[in-house]
Amino acid sequence: MAIVYWNGDYIPLEKAVVPVEDRGFLFGDGIYEVVRVYGGRPFRLADHLQRLHRSAAGAQLPLADAVDEIPDIIQRLLDENGLRDTSFYIQCTRGCAHPRAHAFPAEVHPTLLLMHAPLRPLPANARTNGVSTITVPDLRWRRCDIKSIMLLPNAMAKTQAHDAGVFEAILVRDGLVTEGSSTNVLAVMNGTLVTHQADSDILGGISRSVVLELAAQLQLPVREEAFTVDEMYSAQELFLSSTMLEILPVTQVDGRVIGRGRPGPVTERLYEAFGKLISE
Ligand SMILES: Cc1ncc(COP(=O)(O)O)c(C=O)c1O
């Protein structure tokens, strides 16, 4: 039975229950992180914790003191659950307040949850052939840099993708590609790696930052700038980045073939460099 951390206790997942007055449940008033663990070592944990603090500041959300102990909590959960390769879901909410009222309560009892999530297998041949995607309107709010648990528009977009028989939905705002429903989107255009600037229209992914670091090491030209849907259609290469997917080639958008219809050389070089980094 999976053991999870819930507000100071290490308990079986089934026993971890949320009171209905928790503002996370009532308002989506909370933030989260997903951290990958390779061979027993959390990858870029410091970066994830920094982003957790940034999200908390952006949402004016006081964090539980135990947030400082997250590295130890992860270690204990790895040991108790006998895990080495997994991912952790970390969630902080503003906790319970009575009666239900929109404004933030004066007294806050923040919650902290950590639970591991199994790694989901990719569709067959996704790495070798690339995945197909569709574009959908970006219906989200204007603080996408906050990793908020309010994920209904993202869930709707992903469901649209699944209903269309494709892997991911690429979000479009004012004609510009922002990101995927749970991924960042990067393109190779005229030999330059291009991705939306890390502003409040996207979540600045930790994997996106890793890819940009690797691109600098490989001396690839990089431009952090939004591109249009048409520019994306005519990209030489396109790929997604995220903690769960690492780097995943995209070979079709809206039924149009991208580049040569197979993972491109820049994507492959970056994926290889990413693999070396996680095995270091
Ligand atoms: C909307 C969105 N963009 C980008 C990402 C990728 O971020 P990261 O690389 O930190 O996993 C995620 C991950 O969940 C996401 O939900």
Q: Are residues 63 and 135 in the same domain?
A: no
Q: Which domain holds residue 90?
A: 3-117
Q: Are residues 143 and 257 in the same domain?
A: yes
Could you say which of 77, 97, 117 is where a domain stops? Answer: 117
Q: Are residues 59 and 139 in the same domain?
A: no
Examine the pLDDT at 4 and tell me if it is beyond 90. Answer: yes
Examine the pLDDT at 75 and tell me if it is beyond 90. Answer: yes
CATH number at residue 250: 3.20.10.10
* Nearest alpha carbon to residue 92 among 72, 107, 113, 106: 113
Closest Cα to atom 8 of ligand 1: 205
Closest Cα to atom 16 of ligand 1: 182
Q: Are residues 138 and 263 in the same domain?
A: yes
Q: Is 182 in the pocket of ligand 1 (CB under 6 A)?
A: yes
Q: Are residues 29 and 88 in the same domain?
A: yes
Q: How much is the pLDDT for 182?
A: 98
Q: Are residues 256 and 157 in the same domain?
A: yes
Q: What is the DSSP letter of 69?
A: G
Q: Are residues 157 and 251 in the same domain?
A: yes
Closest Cα to atom 15 of ligand 1: 182
The Å distance, Cα 242 to ligand 1 centre, comes to 5
CA-to-CA distance for 183 and 189, rounded, in angstroms? 19
Examine the pLDDT at 167 and tell me if it is beyond 90. Answer: yes
Total of domains in the chain = 2
Q: pTM of the predicted model, to two decimals?
A: 0.98
Q: Are residues 188 and 237 in the same domain?
A: yes
Q: Are residues 108 and 149 in the same domain?
A: no
Q: How much is the pLDDT for 228?
A: 98
Q: Is 243 in the pocket of ligand 1 (CB under 6 A)?
A: yes
8 Å CB contact between 240 and 168: yes
Annotated catalytic residue 147 = yes
Average pLDDT for 127-143: 98
Q: Are residues 190 and 70 in the same domain?
A: no
Could you say which of 117, 152, 179 is where a domain stops? Answer: 117
Q: Is 208 in the pocket of ligand 1 (CB under 6 A)?
A: yes
pLDDT in tens, 16-69: 999 999 999 999 999 999 999 999 999 999 999 999 999 999 999 999 999 999
Cα Rg of the chain (Å, integer): 19
* Nearest alpha carbon to residue 179 among 199, 159, 150, 152: 199
Closest Cα to atom 7 of ligand 1: 205
Burial (CB < 10 A; 0-12, 13-18, 19+), residue 41, is middle
Q: Is 151 in the pocket of ligand 1 (CB under 6 A)?
A: no
Ligand 1 pocket mutation, candidates 87, 183, 270, criterion most atoms within 8 A of CB: 183
Q: Is 206 in the pocket of ligand 1 (CB under 6 A)?
A: yes
Residue 99: alpha-carbon gap to chain centroid? 33
Q: Is 205 in the pocket of ligand 1 (CB under 6 A)?
A: yes
CA-to-CA distance for 93 and 86, rounded, in angstroms? 23
Measured from the Cα of 208, ligand 1's closest atom is 9
* Nearest alpha carbon to residue 6 among 91, 89, 80, 113: 113
Q: Is 247 in the pocket of ligand 1 (CB under 6 A)?
A: no
Could you say which of 78, 94, 117 is where a domain stops? Answer: 117
Q: How much is the pLDDT for 1?
A: 85
DSSP-assigned beta bridge partners for residue 6 = 9, 113
CA-to-CA distance for 114 and 78, rounded, in angstroms? 11
The Å distance, Cα 106 to ligand 1 centre, comes to 31
CA-to-CA distance for 118 and 18, rounded, in angstroms? 22
pLDDT in tens, 239-263: 999 999 999 999 999 999 999 999 9
CATH number at residue 8: 3.30.470.10
The Å distance, Cα 80 to ligand 1 centre, comes to 27
Examine the pLDDT at 280 and tell me if it is beyond 90. Answer: no
Average pLDDT for 158-172: 98
* Nearest alpha carbon to residue 230 among 157, 135, 143: 135
Closest Cα to atom 13 of ligand 1: 182
Closest Cα to atom 3 of ligand 1: 183
Q: Are residues 232 and 148 in the same domain?
A: yes
Q: Is 113 in the pocket of ligand 1 (CB under 6 A)?
A: no
Residue 88 banded pLDDT, cuts 50, 70, 90: very high
Q: Are residues 200 and 150 in the same domain?
A: yes
Average pLDDT for 94-102: 98
Q: How much is the pLDDT for 69?
A: 98
